[in-house]
């Protein structure tokens, strides 16, 4: 079975979990693929290029591959345009992320909701 590769996919990080000593499991919300689980190998290392980019509430462009439940993150770039919110705006953003986590199914795209 061939692995499916996705490039230049607009996304937001909804949640991140420790997976191993150096890696993270990410729940991301993408424009064309909906909610997707990704493993970011080595993302917790001090020299990782993922470390400063994989922040919640920030627009990203992701490349990932794989055909299992948890796919592998290949690259992540900050698209820019938003400043990290603070105070009540930050709490509202985290609440919105939790709603997306609980009310959307994996691999079910919602492009209108993403916009």
> Does residue 23 form part of some domain?
yes
Tens of pLDDT, residue by residue, the chain (115 residues): 446 899 999 999 999 999 999 999 999 999 999 999 999 999 999 999 998 899 999 999 999 999 889 999 999 999 987 788 889 999 999 999 999 999 999 999 999 989 8
How many domains does the structure of the chain reveal? 1
- Show the tokens assigned to 6: 């996705």
Partners of residue 10 on adjacent β-strands: 61
Domain that holds residue 19: 5-110
How far is Cα 92 from Cα 22, in angstroms, rounded to an integer? 29
pTM summary value: 0.89
Residue 35: which region, alpha, beta or left (left: phi > 0; alpha: psi -120 to 50)?
Answer: beta
> Does residue 77 form part of some domain?
yes
Which of 15, 11, 43, 16 lies closest to 109 in space, CA to CA? 11
Instruction: Specify the pairing of strand 34-40 against strand 70-78.
Output: parallel
> Does residue 115 form part of some domain?
no
CATH number of domain containing 21: 2.40.50.140
């Amino acid at each position: 079975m061939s692995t499916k590769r996705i490039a230049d996919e607009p996304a937001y990080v909804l949640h991140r979990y420790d997976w191993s000593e150096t890696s993270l499991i990410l729940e991301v919300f993408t424009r064309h693929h909906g909610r997707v689980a990704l493993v970011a190998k080595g993302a917790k290392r001090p020299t990782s290029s993922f470390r400063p980019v994989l922040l919640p509430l920030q627009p990203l462009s992701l490349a990932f591959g794989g055909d299992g439940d948890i796919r592998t993150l290949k690259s992540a770039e900050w698209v820019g345009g938003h400043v990290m919110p603070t105070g009540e705006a930050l709490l509202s953003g985290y609440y919105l992320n939790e709603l997306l986590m609980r009310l959307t199914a994996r691999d079910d795209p919602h492009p209108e909701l993403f916009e």
